Chains A and B, each alone.
Chain A
Amino acid sequence: MNVLIIEPSDFSPKVIFDPAKNLFEISGESRPENTSKFYVPILEWLVQYQSVLYWEKDKFGEGTSHVFEFKFDYFNSTSAKFIMDVLMQLDKMAQDGFSIKVKWYYDKRDEDMKESGEEFSKLLKKLPVEFIET
């Protein structure tokens, strides 16, 4: 499975999904000019990765645990909908029995970022979300 790397800009976050290193991270500011164009490749990558996980599970039994780290400084409301889609996809994988967890980082002064994460997590069925103050 290829590594997904998206370099950050003044208005879009850095994304590193690297299965070989078991590193999955989104960080920075998210208000892309075309939000759909930015997030759809991330969602497509996750769908593909889910297929790989099924294959690995069939072949080797239980797979590795995954921690997806969300380290946003800021995201606009249009991004929120797509971040929800990313979390929903991870939730689907968790519901299918894969060991997936989310770590939601927030600045200790930024109660709003924590609350946003809590709102997201209320809409998830199985995906555990750990809140980490920085």
Chain B
Amino acid sequence: MSKEISEALEIHQFMNERNVIMSFMGELTHQVTTSLLKNLKDDMSVTNVDFVTQKRLYGIIVECLDNIVKHWIAIDIKRILGRSSPPIFILSRHDNFYYIITGNHIPNDQIDSLIKKIDTVNALDKKGLQEYYRQTLAKESPLDRDNAGLGIIDIGLKSGNKLEYEFRTVTPTVSFYVIQAKISM
């Protein structure tokens, strides 16, 4: 057995054990996102749960994928690293939770504000998050319109659980950013 086949079997076994419903690694465009979301809507492992969980799960995944697309457009990672290093998206289900994990490169100068935002979301209860959402919605920021900052708050609201994250420095200018949201089944 070749090394490649052996590795593929290991990856399959790992994904199987972790109950991975859907995973994607590659160039994430709006078209790819739409295709993934269409598959998700038809996936029985997701459609057999209650309506509210389905909708919240869908909303979290849209926000996570939208974030990847925004960062993917903003960073020319191939030029920075000298090789391709696409983002990753994993949806799995275990221990009565759905787990949504995304990983993508972001500029190091955005890390502090992102950590601040996630920590703020994690510190708030539902009422606090709704208030924070409303304040952010009311802010006039036409230049920042496509990155209004509502996404993380929306994920926090829909998830109902703390968000977990990790940053791995890749170069002096870029890090790999992983965020995990989970929602009760």
Whether A81 lies near B145 (C-beta < 8 A) is: yes
Whether B137 lies near A123 (C-beta < 8 A) is: yes
Whether B133 lies near A112 (C-beta < 8 A) is: no
Whether A112 lies near B52 (C-beta < 8 A) is: yes
A109 within 8 A of B: yes
Whether B62 lies near A81 (C-beta < 8 A) is: no
Residue of B nearest to A108 (CB): B51
Whether A76 lies near B63 (C-beta < 8 A) is: yes
Q: In the complex, how many angstroms separate the beta carbon of B125 from the nearest chain A beta carbon?
A: 14
Task: Report the separation of the CA atoms of residues A120 and B38 in the bound assembly, to the nearest whole angstrom.
Answer: 28
Q: A74-B55, A74-B59, A112-B55 are in contact. Are A81 and B30 (CB under 8 A)?
A: no
Q: In the complex, how many angstroms separate the beta carbon of A115 from the nearest chain B beta carbon?
A: 7
A62 within 8 A of B: no
Q: In the complex, how many angstroms separate the beta carbon of A109 from the nearest chain B beta carbon?
A: 4
- CB contacts (< 8 Å) of A84 on chain B: these are 137-138
Q: Which of A72-110 contact B (CB under 8 A)?
A: 74, 76-78, 80-82, 84, 107, 109-110
Q: In the complex, how many angstroms separate the beta carbon of A92 from the nearest chain B beta carbon?
A: 14
Q: In the complex, how many angstroms separate the beta carbon of B73 from the nearest chain A beta carbon?
A: 11
Residue of A nearest to B148 (CB): A81
Place the interface of chain B in its size category: 20 to 34
Q: In the complex, how many angstroms separate the beta carbon of B20 from the nearest chain A beta carbon?
A: 24
Residue of B nearest to A73 (CB): B55
Residue of A nearest to B56 (CB): A112
With an 8 Å Cβ cutoff, the count of chain A residues facing the other chain is 24
- Interface flags for A41-61 (1: CB within 8 Å of B; 0: not) read 000000000000000000000
Q: In the complex, how many angstroms separate the beta carbon of B183 from the nearest chain A beta carbon?
A: 12
A31 within 8 A of B: yes
B150 within 8 A of A: yes
- CB contacts (< 8 Å) of A107 on chain B: these are 51
Q: In the complex, how many angstroms separate the beta carbon of A38 from the nearest chain B beta carbon?
A: 12
Task: Report the separation of the CA atoms of residues A31 and B59 in the bound assembly, to the nearest whole angstrom.
Answer: 10
- CB contacts (< 8 Å) of B105 on chain A: these are none
A10 within 8 A of B: yes
Q: A10-B38, A81-B137 are in contact. Are A36 and B145 (CB under 8 A)?
A: yes
Task: Report the separation of the CA atoms of residues A122 and B147 in the bound assembly, to the nearest whole angstrom.
Answer: 22
Whether B150 lies near A77 (C-beta < 8 A) is: yes
A133 within 8 A of B: no
- CB contacts (< 8 Å) of B95 on chain A: these are none
Q: Which residues of B contact A (CB under 8 A)?
A: 30, 34, 38, 51-52, 55-56, 58-59, 62-63, 66, 130, 133-134, 137-138, 145-148, 150-151, 153-154, 157-158
Q: Which residues of A contact B (CB under 8 A)?
A: 10-11, 31, 33, 35-36, 74, 76-78, 80-82, 84, 107, 109-112, 115, 119-120, 122-123
Q: Can you sample 6 A-B contacts with CB below 8 Å?
A: A74-B55, A74-B59, A80-B154, A81-B137, A110-B51, A122-B134
Q: Name the 4 nearest CB pairs between A and B, nearest first.
A: A77-B150, A33-B30, A109-B51, A77-B151
